[in-house]
């Protein structure tokens, strides 16, 4: 860098004509000092580039009548201070604020001279001095995109993941070097192509506009300090290296000189610096064609810190090696005790005699097909501790489970033989939608009881509202009764409120309510007795639905609690919080039983496995984890999302986990291996809720795009077929779009983001779907709050 080159964010200084000679001498001295430093440190590549830059610069004008754009020694010190590192903490900038550089130097006892400052520049800083031209990054990124788009179809899926980290580093480089206008132009030009899969991160980056923002932002520092892992095949990696070093391969048609020439070389050099300093390549021996398109992104991202590392063992570089090290999981359903089975058998026979039900034999067959310890069921000794004896309600619940299984609507794929061959038929669920109107500040959450008698919603105004879906009045107890007068059930009924309505408000939280969950103990046999809620006030609260009052406030989290969920058999529940932990509680204790720590950001959602042995969490660090409930250790980590994981769902058979969030994708995971089965896309806004059908054959999702979508679990997925029949795509969606949008008028058919396993899309008018769930008989219930057209 010569003295005639203005530093970033530094105004040009016009020198009097009499000082031109002195300025030229100063410039030569600085250039010589930089060259001496690069030679002493052995940075031959940087030295060569610097000499090339000096040779191509025009000679300084010596005319006394002309003015030259120069920089004073003081401004040069301020500019170079960006690259100076602390003596006690190598790798960190010594100065964050360029305005106070000289004062800071004086306070540190160092003379504010250019030579001493240059001597404190590390290797990376020396290279960056030579790459301050913002046009190099724009040209380099433009060429990188052109090279990826011009590569063969078989290589394009594994090349695309490299674009995002280079975009992030180029933008952060421009901001940190003070090129705000160039950074905004770079963002506006290149971010649209990345928005479909990285919208949340791109929005976050767009808020970083000053060097101080970059230095104090957690995500930016993760990009700076941690290497971004990119998975590639050996042949693909060879092609990338060939383009970076020689500029060969992948030229788009009609590009003329391709990527050769001075501009192309400088652009590739900018890309190469990011590749060398901030990327780590996981080169696999698998061939390009043997890996599915979506599999390339499974092991891509900032993986070093999100993969748990066991103490005293070798570090894991990818999620697959970590998952394999944890061995097999116990995914079977809990074994039914013989005593409970016998009592359920007796209750079913007695009920069949009273109702004269001829289907009792089918009920008994379903009952005795339930898993036992001999048939692979998980023994009670391996489950979290539960009461040793069962109650009357447990028998009623098991009886109702059997009857629900017999009367359930089947949503499994069937094959029908016709004269034209075998026709596969996939039935769709019946969906009952509940819409909330005039909700003011919003409804972050809602849920339904398993017996479909109650609906609860949490409001931003810090209260919970209950609705009776059967039209029954919700009555609590009077507050003026005498406890000594309560002797039996009849006296208890006398103190119930005489009035009542079909809706009830529960007040107790002091912040927005983010999650509500009904007690599952009674199942579909009876209405629930308790309700859990979580709030921004950092508490979870237990509400009695008999008295309609708050019974317990559970305190332990230090930040808002985003989610709360009951265990499958009651008693235990789990919470997820902004403090980066999930916690296990029991209703009879106000203190935490277990803390699940390891996520790098907010834990946004939590779900229990159907057998209660495992707990799944989704986080803002873009990962989901599976935890051993009793040991508190992480046994699986799921990496593949490109945004916040905001919702989870276990399949009822215990084999699959579905995750979704702000990257608009739904990932289906095999719990046994920890591998992703497939990626399902089609939503055009964040996904808020997921639910499996009772046979685990169908997944239903609801999101901010005002739609409910049904997905086929057994289908292979992948890109949608382009074969059309009468204007309808082969998977049943219209050619004009999901919501009947008008076809494009530019003469080009837009590429559909919907995968072939999307069975159906049910649009609402203007209702984001915040909750979807199946009843035990496979009726799908959904709910959300209507957005008025004037609301944004």
Whether residue 657 contacts residue 650, with contact meaning beta carbons closer than 8 Å, is answered with yes
Quote the CA–CA distance of 765 and 110 in Å, as a whole number.
Answer: 67
User: What pLDDT does residue 296 have?
Assistant: 67
Q: Are strands 728-729 and 758-763 parallel, antiparallel or unpaired?
A: unpaired
Helices 392-407 and 360-368 cross at an angle (nearest 10°) of 110
Cβ count within 10 A of residue 412: 14
Rounded CA-CA distance 52/673 in Å is 54
Q: Give the tokens for residue 551.
A: 């019974």
Q: Answer whether residue 358 shows pLDDT above 70.
A: yes
Query: pLDDT at position 84, please?
Result: 55
Q: Cβ atoms within 10 A of the Cβ of 716, count? A: 11
Tens digit of each residue's pLDDT (9 = 90 or more) over 15-63: 444 444 444 555 566 677 777 777 776 667 667 777 777 776 554 444 4
pLDDT interval class at 109 (50, 70, 90): low
Measured CA to CA, the distance from residue 697 to residue 620 in angstroms comes to: 28
| DSSP character string of 426-442 | -----EEEEEE---TT-
How sure is the predictor about 372, in pLDDT bands with cuts at 50, 70 and 90? Answer: confident
Question: Tokens 């059967």 belong to which residue?
Answer: 470
CA distance 432 to 32: 77
Least confident range of 241-245, 290-294, 336-340: 290-294
Closest among 294, 359, 132, 206 to 666, alpha carbons compared: 294
Report the candidate in 697, 667, 764, 570 with the shortest Cα–Cα distance to residue 292.
667
Please state, rounded to an integer, the average pLDDT across all residues of the chain.
Answer: 79
Strands, E assignment, 599-715: 603-608, 614-619, 623-628, 634-639, 645-650, 656-661, 665-670, 676-681, 687-692, 698-703, 707-712
Select from 301, 331, 340, 328 the least CA-distant residue to 317: 301
**pLDDT score of 81:** 58
Check pLDDT > 60 for residue 555.
Answer: yes
Please give the structure tokens belonging to residue 713.
Answer: 């679990």
CB 266 within 8 A of CB 139: yes
Prediction pTM value = 0.75
Tokens 């697959």 correspond to: 320
The number of CA neighbours under 13 Å toward the Cβ of 74 is 7
In sequence order, what are the residues at sequence separation of 6 or more whose Cβ sits closer than 8 angstroms to the Cβ of residue 759?
426, 428, 698, 710, 711, 712, 731, 732
Output the CA–CA distances (angstroms, integers) from residue 331 to 319, 470, 712, in the order listed: 20, 36, 22
The angle subtended at Cα 31 by Cα 30 and Cα 35, nearest 5°, is 115
Rounded Cα–Cα distance for residues 696 and 680 (Å):
16
- CA dihedral 565→568→571→577, nearest 10 degrees, is -20
3-state helix, strand, coil in the chain (%, to 5): 30, 25, 45
- CA 546/CA 171 separation, integer angstroms: 57
Q: DSSP characters for 245-260?
A: HH--S-PPTT-TTTT-
User: What residues form DSSP beta bridges with 464?
Assistant: 458, 506
Asked if 437 and 786 count as a contact pair (C-beta separation under 8 A), the reply is: yes
At residue 377, the pLDDT reads 79
* Sheet bearing 780-785, strands edge to edge: 431-436, 780-785, 769-774
**What average pLDDT does range 316-345 have in this prediction?**
85
Q: What confidence category does residue 565 fall into, taking pLDDT thresholds of 50, 70 and 90? A: very high
E strands, 336-461, in order: 414-418, 421-425, 431-436, 445-448, 454-458
Percent of the chain at pLDDT exceeding 90: 32
**Could you tell me the domains of the chain?**
13-129 (no CATH), 134-305 (1.25.40.500), 338-370+383-425 (no CATH)
What is the maximum span of the chain, computed from C-alpha positions, in angstroms?
114
What is the C-alpha to C-alpha distance for residues 299 and 232, in angstroms, rounded to an integer?
Answer: 10
Query: What does the pLDDT read at residue 455?
Result: 95
Ramachandran category for residue 207: left, alpha or beta (phi over 0 → left; psi -120 to 50 → alpha) = alpha
Query: Tokens 């009876």 correspond to what residue?
Result: 526
Check if the beta carbon of residue 670 is closer than 8 Å to that of residue 650: no
Least confident range of 477-491, 493-507, 583-597, 604-618: 477-491
**CA torsion, points 629, 517, 693, 380, in degrees to nearest 10?**
40
How far apart (Å, rounded) are the C-alpha atoms in residues 640 and 663?
10
- Dihedral pair phi/psi, residue 760, rounded to 5°: -160, 155
The pLDDT of residue 609 is 95
> How many other CB atoms are found less than 10 A from the CB of residue 739?
13
715: tokens are 């289908």
Q: If we measure between CA atoms, which residue out of 761, 704, 706, 711 comes closest to residue 733?
A: 761
């Amino acid at each position: 860098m010569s003295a005639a080159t203005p530093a970033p964010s530094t105004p040009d200084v016009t020198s009097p004509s009499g000082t031109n000679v002195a300025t030229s001498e100063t410039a030569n001295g600085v250039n010589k000092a930089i060259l001496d430093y690069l030679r002493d440190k052995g940075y031959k590549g940087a030295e060569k580039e610097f000499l090339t830059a000096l040779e191509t610069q025009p000679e300084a004008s010596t005319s006394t009548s002309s003015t030259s754009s120069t920089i004073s020694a003081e401004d040069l010190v301020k500019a170079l201070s960006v690259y100076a590192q602390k003596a006690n903490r190598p790798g960190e900038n010594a100065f964050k604020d360029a305005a106070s550089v000289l004062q800071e130097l004086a306070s540190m006892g160092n003379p504010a001279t250019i030579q001493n400052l240059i001597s404190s520049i590390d290797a990376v800083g020396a290279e960056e001095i030579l790459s301050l031209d913002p046009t190099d990054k724009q040209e380099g990124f433009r060429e990188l995109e052109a090279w990826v788009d011009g590569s063969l179809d078989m290589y394009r899926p594994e090349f695309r993941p490299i674009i995002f980290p280079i975009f992030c580093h180029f933008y952060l480089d421009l901001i940190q070097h003070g090129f705000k206008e160039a950074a905004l132009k770079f963002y506006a030009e290149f971010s649209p192509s990345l928005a479909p899969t990285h919208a949340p991160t791109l929005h976050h980056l767009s808020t970083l506009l000053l060097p101080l923002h970059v230095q104090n932002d957690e995500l930016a520092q993760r990009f700076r300090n941690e290497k971004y892992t990119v998975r590639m095949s050996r042949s693909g990696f060879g092609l990338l290296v060939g383009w970076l070093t020689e500029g060969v391969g992948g030229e788009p048609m009609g590009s003329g000189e391709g990527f050769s020439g001075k501009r192309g070389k400088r652009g590739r050099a900018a890309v190469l610096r990011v590749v060398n300093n901030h990327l780590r390549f996981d080169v696999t021996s698998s061939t390009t064609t043997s890996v599915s398109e979506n599999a390339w992104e499974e092991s891509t991202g900032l993986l070093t810190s999100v993969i748990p590392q066991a103490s005293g063992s070798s570090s894991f570089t990818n999620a697959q090696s970590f998952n394999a090290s944890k061995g097999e999981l116990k995914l079977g359903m809990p074994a039914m005790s013989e005593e409970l089975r016998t009592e359920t058998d007796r209750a079913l026979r007695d009920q069949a005699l009273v109702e004269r039900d001829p289907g009792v034999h089918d009920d008994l067959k379903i009952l005795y097909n339930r898993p036992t310890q001999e048939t692979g069921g998980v023994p009670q000794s391996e489950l979290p501790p539960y009461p040793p004896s069962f109650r009357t309600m447990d028998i009623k619940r098991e009886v109702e489970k059997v009857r629900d299984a017999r009367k359930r609507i089947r949503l499994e794929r069937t094959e029908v033989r016709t004269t034209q061959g075998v026709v596969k038929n996939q039935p769709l669920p019946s969906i009952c939608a509940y819409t909330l109107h005039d909700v003011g500040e919003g409804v972050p959450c809602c849920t339904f009881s398993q017996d479909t008698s109650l609906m609860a919603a949490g409001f931003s105004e810090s209260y919970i509202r209950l609705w009776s879906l059967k039209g029954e009045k919700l009555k609590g107890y009077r507050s003026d009764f005498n406890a000594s007068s309560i002797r039996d059930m009849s006296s208890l009924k006398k103190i119930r409120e005489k009035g009542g309505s079909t809706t009830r408000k529960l007040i107790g939280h002091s912040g927005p309510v983010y999650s509500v969950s009904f007690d599952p103990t009674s199942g579909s046999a009876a209405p629930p007795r308790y309700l859990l809620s979580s709030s921004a006030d950092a508490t979870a609260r237990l509400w009695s639905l008999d008295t309609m009052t708050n019974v317990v406030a559970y305190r332990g989290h230090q930040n808002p609690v985003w989610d709360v969920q009951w265990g499958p058999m009651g008693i235990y529940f789990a919470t997820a919080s902004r403090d980066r932990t999930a916690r296990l509680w029991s209703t009879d204790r106000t203190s935490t039983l277990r803390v699940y720590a390891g996520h790098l950001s907010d834990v946004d959602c939590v779900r229990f496995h159907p057998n209660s042995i495992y707990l799944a969490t989704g986080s803002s660090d873009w990962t989901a984890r599976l935890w051993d409930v009793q040991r508190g250790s992480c046994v699986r980590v799921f990496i593949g999302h490109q945004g916040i994981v905001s919702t989870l769902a276990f399949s009822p058979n215990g084999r699959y986990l579905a995750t979704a969030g702000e990257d608009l994708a739904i990932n289906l995971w095999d719990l046994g291996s920890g591998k992703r089965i497939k990626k399902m896309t089609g939503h055009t806004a964040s996904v808020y809720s997921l639910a499996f059908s009772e046979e685990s054959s169908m997944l239903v999702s609801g999101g901010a795009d005002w739609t409910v979508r049904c997905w086929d679990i057994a289908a292979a997925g992948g890109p949608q077929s382009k074969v059309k029949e009468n204007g309808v795509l082969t998977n049943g969606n219209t050619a004009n779009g999901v919501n009947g949008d008008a076809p494009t008028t530019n003469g080009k058919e837009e590429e559909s983001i919907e995968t072939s396993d999307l069975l159906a899309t049910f649009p609402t008018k203007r209702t984001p779907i915040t909750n979807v769930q199946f009843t035990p008989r496979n009726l799908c219930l959904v709910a959300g709050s209507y957005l008025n057209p004037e609301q944004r």
